[in-house]
Structure 1
Amino acid sequence: MTSSLDGRRFAAVADVVAGEVGTETVFAYHERAGEVWAEYTGGSIRRGHLVGTREGDRLDFRYVQLNIDGQTSSGHCVSAVSVLPDGRLRLHETWSWESRSGSGSSVLEELPAP
């Protein structure tokens, strides 16, 4: 298992096609005893939350979010955690909306420490 996600911040490496998350969206992750959760905001996302589980380097979670137009959306995501050469973490995500049609993939990378 790679390092804990707890206290790490992530952002998308590119705007997400068919999604609302973009490079300005920042995720603040937490992890404890196989549970993962995060808050996220930025870009077209006013407020978002995700909650799920981690088994090894696999995350499985559901997300719900409010966009800047006042619309809510929800979905399911499975992510694979990997380590970049500089030690930061990367999340390879495969997601699908549950509240509307659409699915896709995205990559998040840990932001460097301030």
Structure 2
Amino acid sequence: MTRSLDRVRFAPLADQAPGQVGTGTRFTYHEQDGRIWAEYEGGDIVHGRLVGTRAGDRLDFRYVQLTRDGATASGHCVSRVSELPDGRLRLAESWEWESRQGAGTSVVEELAGEGGVAPVTG
């Protein structure tokens, strides 16, 4: 997998627990020279950021977020990048909170027709 994540927007396929990423959350990824970072917001998330690295189809990053109720949280995630039959990208994620208890898996997929859009602002 060599397709860049730069300026690619993603959305989760399912809601997580309240106060976490959900189907209303949007991610805008950036990539340069093996480094990745992203902004995310929407649903219960007011501001979220992630930063890490990419090696082939593997992403390894830390994330931090602020929720609507004023809580902050941080964690670690490893994702696998794959391409869907229609050419969109999918990230299969395994994550674990570092600031509290909990771990899980999630899937985000590239939003159709939104490649190359400007980053989320907020």
Q: TM-score, normalised by structure 2?
A: 0.90
Counterpart check, 1:33 vs 2:33:
yes
CA contact (8 A) 1:2 1:81 kept: no
Counterpart check, 1:52 vs 2:52:
yes
Residue identity in the other structure for 2:63: Y
Between 48-57 and 10-19, the greater mean CA deviation after superposition: 10-19
CA contact (8 A) 1:18 1:102 kept: no
Give the percent of matched residue pairs that are identical in Structure 1 and Structure 2.
Answer: 67
Q: List alignment gaps of at least 5 residues for structure 1.
A: none
RMSD: 1.2
The structural deviation recorded for 1:2 is 3.1
Count of aligned residue pairs for this structure pair: 114
CA contact (8 A) 2:18 2:44 kept: no
Q: Matches of 1:51 and 1:34 in 2, distance apart? A: 11
What SS does the corresponding residue of 2:10 show, helix, strand or coil?
Answer: strand
Between 18-27 and 36-45, the greater mean CA deviation after superposition: 18-27
**What is the match of residue 5 of structure 1?**
5
Counterpart check, 1:91 vs 2:91:
yes
The C-alpha deviation readout for 1:17-72, integer Å capped at 9, x for no partner, is: 48700000000000000000000000000000000000000000000000000000
**What is the match of residue 72 of structure 1?**
72
Between 19-28 and 79-88, the greater mean CA deviation after superposition: 19-28
**What is the match of residue 42 of structure 1?**
42
The structural deviation recorded for 1:112 is 1.0
**CA, structure 1 residues 57+18, in 2 after alignment: closer, same or farther (shift >3 Å)?**
farther
Residue identity in the other structure for 1:93: E
**CA, structure 1 residues 60+74, in 2 after alignment: closer, same or farther (shift >3 Å)?**
same
What SS does the corresponding residue of 1:86 show, helix, strand or coil?
Answer: coil
Q: Matches of 1:97 and 1:18 in 2, distance apart? A: 15
**What is the match of residue 101 of structure 2?**
101
| Runs of 4+ that moved beyond 3 A | none
